[in-house]
Amino acid sequence: MRALALTMLLLTVATTAPRARAQGDDAFERQRREMLDRERRVILNNDGGDAVVKAREPTREGMLTARTIGLEDTHVDTIFYCTNRGTFSRHTHRSEVSETFMRTDGRYERNVVPALLEQGTDPLQVMIDWCRENDVEIFWSERMNDGHDAGRPDMVSEWKRQHPECLVGSEDDRPPHGAWSQVDYSHDAVREQMLRIIEEVCRNYDIDGIEMDFFRHPCYFRSVAWGGHATEEEVATMTAFVRRVREIAEREGRERGRPILLAVRVPDSVPPALAMGLDLEAWLSEGLVDLMTGSGYFRMNPWEYLAELGHRHGVKVYACLSDARVQEHASTFTRRAQDSYRARASRAWHAGVDGIYLFNMFNPEMRFLHEIGEPEVLAGLDKTYFATVCGAEGRSYGSPDYWIAGGSQWRNTPVLTPEDPLPLSAGDSHTVPLHVGDDLSAMRE
């Protein structure tokens, strides 16, 4: 009788435990869907300069005044806060696995990181607190291969100095593509260090998600930096790495009882991304990514391409309106003007994206921040359209050829700027598409 009772008890446990877990999983996934479906009219990427060069004083308020206070009543629903400091494995958040940026010399005399640490906080925590107070979503943004230190060797991180074999080149032996100081993700040491950094942030900070910024800067393998395209093995290595990031976010999210979403910023075209080692189709089809932002200092396709790619896999898509980086000394119209941002946003909304993403735009007082997140508001406003807004063939960051051999072969957007004019001879005829995001017939009325 005792044996029978024990058997029945075991059967009860065996049949009810999986059901209880399934219910828990269902709740977790419902929460993920609710978080994913949150409205993101405008995502603002704050690259963290407010903490190291722009703070008004060495306090929480002094940092927030630089780029954040004033966003409360705008269309900015989400902030992607970057703590990376110009190189691999150096940050402004509190860390035991990455180097903390403590310099206060020269242009960094306003660096508030040391003061905030003494006050028991850090820039990432300050931004999280402000976002919670103002019902703004907060992602931690990590630049996957920041190469700013190539032009400033004193900025090279200690990790890079200890692992010179993990770089794509050297100061005396510079590759033709990308920056010599960028890391090569074919090395286990690179991937493991980045995974440790990501895991620590997921574990220690109450963030809604993390962004892997693969556009800042898009060079990930030595083979690509030196003129080739990523091999199948390198592509598989990077996909496996992204898969591990997803596993970390899942594990840590379940541990805290709330999902950690995963966003990526990538080139807005599958072929060049794949040549760089980024298999967007695989990432999306496997469900490794929740949000995808495309483009930056150059754009490869009309926005419809990116919207279709993401939506085909059920992923939210955001159009990156990056700073133009086009020289306009003698130009009548400027690509940095409010009318231009209105036009760019209107065009992206018309193409079917889920929201607007701003990069290298830090003034919370800009009027268009109250306008570009709602197509209905934009409809009646003045706009200035350009055939080409970002980048130019003759500039480094603005050309896909700077990052990968033959990158321009996949470019399906026109190049027409003051730096790259279209020469015309008598009798010549050229057509340059100008994509407009307004219903012109309705505007006529």
Report the alpha-carbon distance of residue 123 to residue 113 in Å, rounded.
7
Which pLDDT band, with edges at 50, 70 and 90, does 5 fall under? Answer: very low
- Whether the per-residue pLDDT at 11 is higher than 90: the answer is no
- Whether the per-residue pLDDT at 271 is higher than 90: the answer is yes
Which pLDDT band, with edges at 50, 70 and 90, does 380 fall under? Answer: confident
Predicted local distance difference test score (pLDDT) of residue 153 = 84
Using CA atoms, how far residue 100 sits from 48, 87, 88, 162, in Å, is 13, 12, 12, 16
Which pLDDT band, with edges at 50, 70 and 90, does 1 fall under? Answer: very low
Q: Which residues contact 425 (CB under 8 A, 6 or more apart)?
A: none
Report the alpha-carbon distance of residue 58 to residue 62 in Å, rounded.
6
Which pLDDT band, with edges at 50, 70 and 90, does 21 fall under? Answer: very low
Which pLDDT band, with edges at 50, 70 and 90, does 420 fall under? Answer: confident
Task: Choose between 199 and 394: higher pLDDT.
Answer: 199
- Whether the per-residue pLDDT at 23 is higher than 90: the answer is no
Per cent of the chain over pLDDT 90 is: 84
250-254, 364-368, 384-388, 420-424: the lowest-pLDDT one: 420-424
Determine if residue 30 is left, alpha or beta; phi over 0 gives left, psi from -120 to 50 gives alpha, anything else beta. alpha
Predicted local distance difference test score (pLDDT) of residue 161 = 97
Which pLDDT band, with edges at 50, 70 and 90, does 244 fall under? Answer: very high
Mean pLDDT, range 139-151, rounded to an integer: 96
Instruction: Compute the 3-state secondary structure of the chain and give helix, strand, coil in percent, each to the nearest 5.
Output: 40, 10, 45
The residues with which 80 forms a beta bridge, in sequence order, are 45, 139
Predicted local distance difference test score (pLDDT) of residue 391 = 78
Mean pLDDT, range 137-161, rounded to an integer: 95
- Whether the per-residue pLDDT at 6 is higher than 60: the answer is no
Predicted local distance difference test score (pLDDT) of residue 397 = 78
Q: Residue holding tokens 């190291």?
A: 52
| ω into 163 cis (within 30 of 0) | no
Task: Choose between 326 and 222: higher pLDDT.
Answer: 222
CB 268 within 8 A of CB 305: yes
The residues with which 358 forms a beta bridge, in sequence order, are 44, 321
CB 209 within 8 A of CB 139: yes
336 phi/psi in degrees, rounded to 5: -95, 0
Amino acid identity of 330?
A
Predicted local distance difference test score (pLDDT) of residue 10 = 36
Predicted local distance difference test score (pLDDT) of residue 440 = 82
Please write the tens of the pLDDT for every residue from 354-375. 999 999 999 999 999 999 999 9
Please write the tens of the pLDDT for every residue from 88-127. 999 999 999 999 999 999 999 999 999 999 999 999 999 9
Mean pLDDT, range 22-50, rounded to an integer: 91
Q: How confident is the prediction for the chain on average, in pLDDT?
A: 92
- Whether the per-residue pLDDT at 415 is higher than 50: the answer is yes
Q: Where are the beta strands (DSSP E) in 116-266?
A: 137-143, 209-213, 261-266
- Whether the per-residue pLDDT at 72 is higher than 90: the answer is yes
Which pLDDT band, with edges at 50, 70 and 90, does 7 fall under? Answer: very low
Which pLDDT band, with edges at 50, 70 and 90, does 158 fall under? Answer: very high
- Whether the per-residue pLDDT at 166 is higher than 50: the answer is yes
149-153, 166-170, 210-214: the lowest-pLDDT one: 149-153
Task: Choose between 418 and 17: higher pLDDT.
Answer: 418
Which domains are assigned to the chain?
Answer: 38-444 (3.20.20.80)
Report the alpha-carbon distance of residue 99 to residue 395 in Å, rounded.
32
Predicted local distance difference test score (pLDDT) of residue 393 = 63
Predicted local distance difference test score (pLDDT) of residue 114 = 98
CB 399 within 8 A of CB 391: yes
Mean pLDDT, range 21-45, rounded to an integer: 88
Which pLDDT band, with edges at 50, 70 and 90, does 24 fall under? Answer: low
Which pLDDT band, with edges at 50, 70 and 90, does 14 fall under? Answer: very low
Other beta carbons less than 10 A from residue 62's beta carbon: 18
